[in-house]
């Protein structure tokens, strides 16, 4: 089977998910071509498993660049058995490119449209194109699926988003505490998140105003465009929060944590929380998007955008060992039921087959 993957700008979970799918689909014997920006290829190394074609796209509409991208996708789609676009903009561009093509289009939506009046009309138009042009829409959360169905999508269902294979920690709690310069009695709260608006990190900082007097240190592993603003606020308010930047030792941090926190304003199937479940962590997370479907009863869930409730959840975990131990036990049980990469491969191949990809005129597979 010949698969054309279309991917726009990505610096985090979307690119990681696509890299895993491209690798597994290629390893299964299928020919994969990826059209994506050059910086995405440099970040995720997709050329190790696929033929990569540079595609100029951006987060915002650009008439000349977008028209060029549509022509490029249309050209690449000739001979493809299926086109799989990831993201709303990539899906809309692919939908326009395939108007005169027989190749079916599968679009995976990874994020909710951003808020704000300035962009609402633009994203609404992109959503309508994706709903109208896609043979199948996969959403990483139920709210995205329902949104596409309401817009008239022919078929829409949940996607399977697996966490990377769990990695064992290389250091114990005492070593991690020593590196961070804190004593054994200080509670360690760990956040793994890109420093972007979606992750609700200002809400996290607001919550720390409610945690005055609790002996804890919160560390945030990740980088992103809000780094300087968050660092300035942490300094001005003298908050017990430290921005660690991008880290290669996330398993060590998760294993050493008294609590793992997600303050996100929206999530699909958060990979970071899947990793925390595999680590047997005690989790407090905002009940937004697909988070509850991922963690089940293995986390304290609080309303999104509510710093008081978030602080209460953090306090309950770090101050009460019974709560912490119960959540850790539930996390281990929940991790055993999470999807893995084999599940994701089976799901995407089933999606391709459901739109007629990989079948010869007599119905036999051409993979």
* Predicted pLDDT of residue 363: 38
Q: Are 156 and 147 in contact (CB under 8 A)?
A: no
* Predicted pLDDT of residue 266: 93
Q: What is the C-alpha to C-alpha distance for residues 268 and 246, in angstroms, rounded to an integer?
A: 21
Task: Fold for 173-335, please state it.
Answer: Rossmann fold (3.40.50)
Domain boundaries, the chain: 2-162+340-354, 173-335
DSSP string for residues in 237-286: HT-SEEEEES-S-HHHHHHH-SEEEE--S--SS-HHHHHHHHTT--EEEE
Q: Which residues of the chain have pLDDT under 70?
A: 11, 59, 115-118, 358-367
Backbone angles phi, psi at 70, to 5 degrees: -60, -45
Give the CATH number of domain 2-162+340-354; options: 1.20.58.220, 3.40.50.300, 3.40.50.2000, 3.90.420.10. Answer: 3.40.50.2000
Domains 2-162+340-354 and 173-335 share a fold: yes
Q: What is the C-alpha to C-alpha distance for residues 329 and 219, in angstroms, rounded to an integer?
A: 23
pLDDT digits (tens, 9 = 90+) for 101-159: 999 999 999 988 776 666 777 889 999 999 999 999 999 999 999 999 999 999 999 99
* Predicted pLDDT of residue 121: 79
């Amino acid at each position: 089977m010949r698969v054309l993957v279309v991917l726009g700008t990505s610096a985090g979970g979307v690119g990681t998910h696509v890299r895993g799918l491209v690798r597994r689909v290629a390893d299964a014997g299928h020919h994969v071509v990826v059209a994506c920006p050059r910086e995405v290829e440099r970040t995720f190394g997709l050329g190790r498993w696929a033929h990569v074609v540079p595609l100029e796209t951006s987060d915002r509409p650009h008439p000349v660049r977008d028209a060029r991208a549509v022509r490029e996708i249309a050209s690449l789609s000739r001979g493809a058995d299926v086109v799989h676009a990831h993201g709303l903009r990539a899906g809309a561009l692919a939908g326009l490119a395939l108007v005169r093509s027989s190749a079916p289009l599968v679009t995976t939506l990874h994020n909710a449209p951003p808020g704000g009046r300035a962009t609402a009309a633009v994203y609404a138009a992109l959503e309508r194109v994706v709903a109208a042009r896609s043979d199948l829409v996969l959403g990483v959360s139920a709210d995205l699926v329902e949104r596409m169905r309401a817009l008239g999508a022919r078929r829409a269902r949940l996607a399977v988003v697996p966490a990377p294979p769990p990695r064992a920690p290389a250091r114990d709690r005492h070593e991690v505490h020593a590196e961070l310069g804190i004593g054994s009695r200080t509670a360690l709260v760990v956040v793994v998140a890109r420093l972007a608006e979606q992750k609700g990190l200002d809400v996290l900082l607001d919550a720390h105003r409610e945690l005055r007097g609790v002996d804890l240190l919160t560390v945030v592993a990740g980088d992103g465009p809000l780094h300087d603003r968050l660092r300035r606020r942490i300094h001005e308010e003298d908050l017990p929060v430290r921005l660690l930047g991008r880290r290669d030792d996330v398993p060590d941090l998760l294993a050493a944590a008294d609590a793992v926190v997600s303050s996100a304003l929206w999530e699909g199937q958060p990979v970071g929380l899947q990793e925390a479940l595999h680590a047997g962590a005690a989790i407090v997370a905002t009940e937004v998007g697909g988070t509850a479907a991922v963690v089940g009863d293995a986390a304290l869930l609080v309303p999104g955008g509510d710093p008081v409730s978030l602080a209460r959840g953090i306090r309950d975990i770090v101050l009460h060992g019974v709560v912490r131990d119960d959540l850790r036990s539930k996390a281990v049980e929940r991790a055993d039921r999470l999807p893995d990469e084999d599940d994701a491969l089976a799901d995407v191949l089933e999606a391709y087959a459901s739109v007629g990809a990989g079948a010869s005129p007599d119905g036999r597979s051409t993979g």
